[in-house]
Structure 1
Amino acid sequence: MKRSGTADLPLHGGRVPPWLATRMTELGTAISEQIILNYGHSEFLSRLSDPFWFQACGAVMGMDWHSSGITTSVMGALKRGLNPRFSELGLQICGGRGRHSKRTPDELRDFSARTGLDGNDLARTSRLTARIDNNAIADGFQLYLHTFVIHRSGEWSVIQQGMNGATGLARRYHWHSPAVGDFVHDPHTAILGRPRGEILNLVDTRATAAQQALVRIAGQPVEASLDEARRLVMPRHHDVRAEDIDLKRLGAVLAVAHEQDLRDFASLLLVEGLGPRTLQSLALIAEVVHGAPSRFSDPARFSWAHGGKDGHPFPVPLKTYDESLAVLRRSLEAARLGHTEKVDGFRRLDRLTRAVEQDRDPLADFSAALEHERKISPSLNGRTVFDDGRGLDDRRGLGKRGTAKRKAADPQLSLFPAQDRETT
């Protein structure tokens, strides 16, 4: 789909602590494997090109549910997890943030040497997507992140992000090769970012006259076309609120996890003896793997799987996170041996949750659910970035002296706002 949505992504200071970065790599890799196993690599690349799914996936991995750093952190985690598995999965992620983005052409040529694809053509494609979003679309956002995800078949997706320091917002751009018929006529899968004033888009179909004559865009303004697409407006408030979530969908997840009869049946579907909190996380992970695009309209809901590193909606429950990872790993290991019961169980768990949503019409008590999560957090080894010594400094702000030291160590840091300098 083209221009499938827009969203505000507030720039937000912080970092990803090692204890979360490692888990994000493992969970992101496991989710990717589940999708590829069930639906194939093309569907995985298609999911990456959906801005709503991408945001939900980052939230279920424990990242801040609304901020620009979700792009950097998710793509960094996937690159660390998927690239070493190239021989099995056939996927490679090239590029990254800042200076890493400049390595994309060389990484693509290295990829082509192993696959027989045309490396120069891939490098040209990478440059074109970057130049179109950075130069041909005059929307006030300058690119600082470019990632190129490619399968050995030649199918690819691009996720790149620009920032606008004046507005404190980021915009994420998504591409998917099957949707790109012409690089100069509506090539985007989606453009994420709230419009701020007039936007000049020289690759919009209605800009053909401008491309040929180098004059103003002819025809209907771009804002009108953006209004026709789904819009995900990410709020500036950092806490998760009831209005950010579809309470009926959350209510179904909580019912499956915590009502005795449903919990027993859900656990049986996965061929596991699981506690309610782990089932809650696995139900949301199952939806990320098997859910339809319409299910990701409220990405904040997926933060109910593993919380957020800054404590919103609650601290990351490391005990639950590790149990969820263990179940996912066991299901994948069994599938490699030809035993698909556990992998199939995730699909059945997703169906059960949707059936409960339709038949019971549940409505989550947001305040009570949030209070419960925070109450049990200590027993689940709940943790935030502020529990780390350096995290306290991040919360207060580094100050001029600290920032100067970091810039001296890495001059590239001066190009990016705090959130997009996250350690991943």
Structure 2
Amino acid sequence: MAHRAGSADLPLHGGRVPKWLGDRMTRLGTVITEAIVHEYGRDELLRRLAHPFWFQSFGAVMGMDWHSSGITTSVLGALKRGLTPLSGELGIHVCGGRGKHSRQTPQELVSIGDRVGIDGAALAQASRLVAKVDSAAVQDGFDLYLHGFIVTDVGSWVVVQQGMNGDRRQARRYHWLSEGLHSFVDEPHAAIDGIEQGVIVNLTDRQAAASRQCQLDILGALGPDGIERQLADLEGRVIESRPPQAQALLPYLVMPDHHDVRAEDIVTRRLHGNLAAAAEFGPSDFSELLLVPGVGARTVRALAMVAEVVHGAPYRFSDPARFSVAHGSKDRHPYPVPLKVYDRTIGVLKSAVRKAKLGQSEELAAIKRLDEQARCLERHASGPSVEALFSEERARSHQHGGRSVFGAEPPPGEFSGRIHTGERTR
């Protein structure tokens, strides 16, 4: 049976991803995906995508706002753009998206099935059922507006879809995983993101099996018209019933409303482990890499975060805010996106993956050791406070090619009207 991985509360955020970031997200998301598939296989990639904590951290390390619902749309969009040209090589296909793109998912799946020799019609039916369950069988106050379906050449798949509650300014993300899935209506979710909001009607719960059967029996005995008459008779009448039995509590990630990254949002010992690994282990293990012009300690620090996204265990992703330390975010939280660092990170990872495909795995193995060392060092590593780290990064942002939706980051001390007035540029 598919497992539930947890839940989270995701604030709704408006705005668009600027092209300069969207293009980089596509390149970085693609090469991270290639590294995961090379090291662990396609099924492991699907498991990662079905894990809500990893998914949020994945978006944060790519420079999206660390806590917002926009990560879902931007990550799926980046993967679709980046992996579609590589579908023949990787055997991974990304379908669907937001709005009208979500409605095209069944046709996309049928086309993929015809092309690679899997049952596209069955996949299309699965797509429709998944959407129907989360829009009708799980009545939690969130209206679906996004549906992403990622499938492999052997028919394994993961679905990530998201609903919106406009009144509460919140979103809920749903994760499905085909691995171990035996039923679409009996606790099928790998995870549901979003803190509970009042009374939720969840007909996919195992405890609702009797209710599902009763509904079918009533429909068969009375028909739609008979049910309507019964409801009319009951209107205005007080019905006494036992409160629903509480479902087993699941771990969930509560994404706060505040946009800025604060010390309490980050597990500091893990952050210090990342920083220590980059400072102490990186220079010795990346001796050849560090000879590449422009690659220095700041790039290795970003690589330490990327390495954890590729190799980290599930428990490592309980603080997605920490992964925004790698490349900042488009809204300057915790600081502007350092474009020079971002581009070098992509270049280093692409080189490592390309060489690994040719049997030269030294660079990719070094990145893995960087992650291993971070976990060892975090037991006793110390370092700057979160606030001091952010302050230093903002002061050097101009040197790193810092950029946000407000424009290029000015040198320290230079007044920027765009930033202070909130004027955004593309």
Q: Aligned pair in 2 of structure 1 residues 198, 252: CA closer, same or farther (>3 Å)?
A: same
Q: With structure 2 as the length reference, what TM-score do the two structures score?
A: 0.87
Give the distance between the partners of 1:166 and 1:222, measured in 2 at CA.
27
Greater helix content: 1
Structure 1 stretch 33-42 or stretch 264-273: which is displaced more? 264-273
SS at match of 2:256: coil
Q: Aligned pair in 2 of structure 1 residues 362, 40: CA closer, same or farther (>3 Å)?
A: same
Q: Aligned pair in 2 of structure 1 residues 269, 237: CA closer, same or farther (>3 Å)?
A: farther
Give the distance between the partners of 1:221 and 1:178, measured in 2 at CA.
29
Give the distance between the partners of 2:203 and 2:109, measured in 1 at CA.
27
2:399 to 372, 379, 382: 379
Structure 1 partner of 2:314: 293
SS at match of 1:170: strand
In structure 1, give the amino acid aligned to 2:267: D
- The 5 A counterparts of 1:127-276 are 127-214=128-215, 221=244, 224-225=247-248, 228-258=249-279, 261-268=280-287, 274-276=295-297
In structure 1, give the amino acid aligned to 2:392: H
In structure 2, give the amino acid aligned to 1:377: S
In structure 2, give the amino acid aligned to 1:186: E
Structure 1 partner of 2:118: 117
Give the distance between the partners of 2:269 and 2:401, measured in 1 at CA.
28
- The 5 A counterparts of 1:56-71 are 56-71=57-72
Q: Can you list the C-alpha shifts for 1:1-59, whole angstroms capped at 9, x where unaligned?
A: 62211111101122100000000000000000000000000000100000000000000
Where does structure 1 differ by over 3 angstroms across 4 or more consecutive aligned residues? Answer: 218-224, 268-274, 394-397
The structure with the larger Rg is 2
Structure 2 partner of 1:38: 39
Q: Which runs of 5+ in 2 are unaligned?
A: 219-238, 409-417
Give the distance between the partners of 1:221 and 1:37, measured in 2 at CA.
46
1:79 has 2:102 as partner? no
In structure 2, give the amino acid aligned to 1:101: S
Give the distance between the partners of 1:350 and 1:76, measured in 2 at CA.
27
Structure 1 partner of 2:97: 96
Contact kept, 8 Å, 2:11 with 2:257, in 1: the verdict is yes
Q: Which runs of 5+ in 1 are unaligned?
A: 398-422
Report 1 or 2 for greater relative contact order, CA contacts < 8 Å, sequence distance ≥ 6. Answer: 1
1:263: how far off? 3.9
Contact kept, 8 Å, 2:281 with 2:370, in 1: the verdict is no
Q: Aligned pair in 2 of structure 1 residues 304, 220: CA closer, same or farther (>3 Å)?
A: farther
Give the distance between the partners of 1:346 and 1:177, measured in 2 at CA.
30
Structure 2 partner of 1:314: 335
Contact kept, 8 Å, 1:172 with 1:193, in 2: the verdict is yes
Q: Aligned pair in 2 of structure 1 residues 282, 219: CA closer, same or farther (>3 Å)?
A: farther
Q: Can you list the C-alpha shifts for 1:107-132, whole angstroms capped at 9, x where unaligned?
A: 00100011211121111100000000
Structure 1 partner of 2:108: 107
1:276: how far off? 0.9
Give the distance between the partners of 2:205 and 2:267, measured in 1 at CA.
33
Contact kept, 8 Å, 1:247 with 1:364, in 2: the verdict is no
Contact kept, 8 Å, 1:12 with 1:68, in 2: the verdict is yes
1:248: how far off? 0.5
Q: CA RMSD in A?
A: 2.4
Q: Aligned pair in 2 of structure 1 residues 176, 222: CA closer, same or farther (>3 Å)?
A: farther
Q: With structure 1 as the length reference, what TM-score do the two structures score?
A: 0.88
1:365 to 385, 388, 393: 385
% identity of equivalent residues: 51
Contact kept, 8 Å, 2:290 with 2:296, in 1: the verdict is no
Contact kept, 8 Å, 1:206 with 1:219, in 2: the verdict is no
Q: Can you list the C-alpha shifts for 1:58-110, whole angstroms capped at 9, x where unaligned?
A: 00000000001100000000000001101100010111000000100110010
